[in-house]
Chains A and B, each alone.
Chain A
Amino acid sequence: AQSVTQLGSHVSVSEGALVLLRCNYSSSVPPYLFWYVQYPNQGLQLLLKYTSAATLVKGINGFEAEFKKSETSFHLTKPSAHMSDAAEYFCAVSDGGTNAGKSTFGDGTTLTVKP
């Protein structure tokens, strides 16, 4: 069985500050890991994914995440927050293979960016 824990349901940062959203996972097989973003009244959009290649993954809008097997973590970071980054962020894990799209999602972290 797989599970995802996102630490902090709400994170607030100032514009220009570092963004750090935490994700820990549990998986019995080598995982595929994802971060999705959901803006108000929009569908989930893939930010980035880890599929067993490079452990540091770069995504859209300046976000990146590092896969750390020893810590079972896949934290999302961005060096400098922008107002447009305010959204809900979801971490997800799947076991890859022929059903890689069957993901287990965390409960989400709402990011607020203060001017």
Chain B
Amino acid sequence: GAGVSQTPSNKVTEKGKYVELRCDPISGHTALYWYRQSLGQGPEFLIYFQGTGAADDSGLPNDRFFAVRPEGSVSTLKIQRTERGDSAVYLCASTDIKGGVTGELFFGEGSRLTVL
């Protein structure tokens, strides 16, 4: 079946612009996670959705970052007034109920954001 799909795969924007990154999880997966991976580092947790609600947004770096999942499936990560330091690969992962207990995540290929 289809895996986690992320669009766009690459996004180049200018400092100060607004950006939206989309994640389409595996069908039936109730839990959805956003991670950010900077160059040379491992992924860092940003936010976790269980259904439509953000169950844990403790990893969002500041109020320029916001994410939604209005119907409990597709999620959008929104970044306002982008800064050069926001340049990274943004990873989305989903998991089913069983995976939510064991922690197994299914990752997409990521959206590479470059802020000039």
Q: Hey, which bits of chain A sit against chain B, CB under 8 A?
A: 4, 9, 32, 34, 36, 41-46, 49, 51, 90, 92, 94, 96, 98-108
The answer on a CB contact under 8 Å between A102 and B45 is yes
- Write the B25-49 contact mask toward A (1 if CB under 8 angstroms, else 0): 0000001010100001111110010
Known: A49-B103, A100-B103. A43 touches B109 (CB 8 A): yes
**Nearest CB of chain B from residue A28's CB, rounded to whole Å:** 16
A13 to B94, CA, bound (A): 33
Known: A32-B103, A49-B102, A49-B104. A105 touches B43 (CB 8 A): yes
Q: How many inter-chain residue pairs (CB < 8 Å) link A and B?
A: 74
**Nearest CB of chain B from residue A46's CB, rounded to whole Å:** 5
The answer on a CB contact under 8 Å between A101 and B95 is yes
Chain A, residue nearest B95 (CB):
A101
Known: A34-B103, A44-B107, A101-B103. A90 touches B43 (CB 8 A): yes
Chain A, residue nearest B33 (CB):
A101
Q: Can you sample 15 A-B contacts with CB below 8 Å?
A: A42-B109, A43-B109, A44-B93, A94-B103, A99-B55, A100-B100, A100-B101, A100-B102, A100-B103, A101-B99, A101-B100, A101-B104, A104-B45, A106-B42, A108-B41
Task: Tell whether B14 is near chain A: CB-to-CB under 8 Å.
Answer: no
The answer on a CB contact under 8 Å between A102 and B91 is no
Question: How would you classify the secondary structure of chain B's contact residues: helix, strand, loop or mixed?
Answer: mixed
**Nearest CB of chain B from residue A8's CB, rounded to whole Å:** 14
A32 to B105, CA, bound (A): 13
A4 to B40, CA, bound (A): 15
Determine which residue in B31, B56, B104, B109 has the highest number of CB atoms from chain A within 10 A of its CB, and name it: B104
**Nearest CB of chain A from residue B22's CB, rounded to whole Å:** 15
Known: A44-B91, A49-B102, A90-B42. A102 touches B107 (CB 8 A): no
A99 to B33, CA, bound (A): 10
**Chain A residues with CB under 8 A of B110:** 43
